[in-house]
Amino acid sequence: MEKFKKLTAQAAYIPIANIDTDMIIEKKHLKTIKRSGLGKWLFAELRYDVDGKPVADFILNQKPKAQILLTGENFGCGSSREHAPWSIMDFGIRVIIAPSFADIFYNNSYKNGLLLIKLDKENISKLAQSADEILIDLNAQTVSNSINSYSFEIESNIKDILLGGIDVIEAILQYSHDIKTYEAAHFKRQPWINGEINA
């Protein structure tokens, strides 16, 4: 996974609350066995008209190089599809700033190196008013432009994973011995959990 440290980039603002995973990536694009290539279908219903032509006034058509997305509360609600963060990353967006995020989407995002930042909606709206590029410093936990600067909270383990581009499975496998010890005691307490599952 790519590391995330700092980013200075253009931001696009989609002022809609409760953007759900169906809106981020329609299910017809979930019929893939790959993680890549989904960026062209990101927000497809908002981005393209019925004939498949780009909608001129949709912000990501105006700012195709935007790497930061500013948006409304409860972003990513709905399905557990990881195709949502995959499509966002594949488009080129590396950071989403919103007042709140849905839980499953939040988890899926950092595991792909996508940084999610929670800021008050007033501050998001101030950032959106400026045409400036936005600077994100993960280590310092700050979001700033030439006028404003805000700090944000992030859980330390998630910060470490993003900063170090850490492979979570590799990290967990260091505890293989603990897992095996736990498992043996757990199955002793609840032997039915280890029943055979055969067709």
Partner 1 sequence: MAQTLYDKIWDEHIVKSFDDGSSLVYIDRQMLHEVTSPQAFEGLELAHRKLWRRNSLLATVDHVVSTTDRSRPLEDSKAQEQFETLEKNVAKHNICYFSPQDKRQGIVHVIGPEQGFTLPGITLVCGDSHTATHGAFGALAFGIGTSEVEQVFATQTLILRKMKNMRIRVEGELKEGVGAKDLILSIISNIGIAGGTGHVIEFTGPVIERLSMEGRMTLSNMAIEAGARSGLIAPDETTFSFLKGKPYAPSGDGWDQAVAFWKTLKSDKNAVYDAEITINASVIEPQVTWGTNPEMCGGITDCIPDPAIISDEIRRSSIERALNYMGLKSGQKIEGLPVDQVFIGSCTNGRIEDLRQVAQIAKGRKKAANVKRVLIVPGSGLVNEMAEKEGLDKIFIEAGFEWRMAGCSMCLAMNDDKLQSGERCASTSNRNFEGRQGAGGRTHLVSPIMAVAAAIEGCFTDVRPYLKGEK
Q: Is-contact 59 2, C-beta < 8 A?
A: no
Q: Is-contact 19 72, C-beta < 8 A?
A: yes
Rounded CA separation 186/175 (Å): 16
Subset of 16-45 contacting partner 1 (CB under 8 A): 16-18, 20, 22-23, 26-28, 30-35, 45
Binding residues for partner 1, how many (CB under 8 A)?
Answer: 61
Rounded CA separation 119/150 (Å): 8
**Which secondary-structure segment (H or E) carries 13?**
strand 11-14
Q: Is-contact 76 101, C-beta < 8 A?
A: yes
Q: Which is nearer to partner 1, 18 or 142 (CB)?
A: 18
Q: Is-contact 5 160, C-beta < 8 A?
A: no
Question: Does 108 participate in binding partner 1 (rule CB under 8 A)?
Answer: yes
Binding mask 51-80 for partner 1 (x = CB under 8 A): ---------------------xxx--xxxx
Q: Which is nearer to partner 1, 1 or 9 (CB)?
A: 1
- Judged by the rule CB under 8 A, the positions of this chain that interact with partner 1 are 15-18, 20, 22-23, 26-28, 30-35, 45, 72-74, 77-82, 85, 100, 102-104, 107-108, 111-112, 121, 155-157, 168-169, 172-173, 175-176, 178-179, 182-183, 186, 189-199
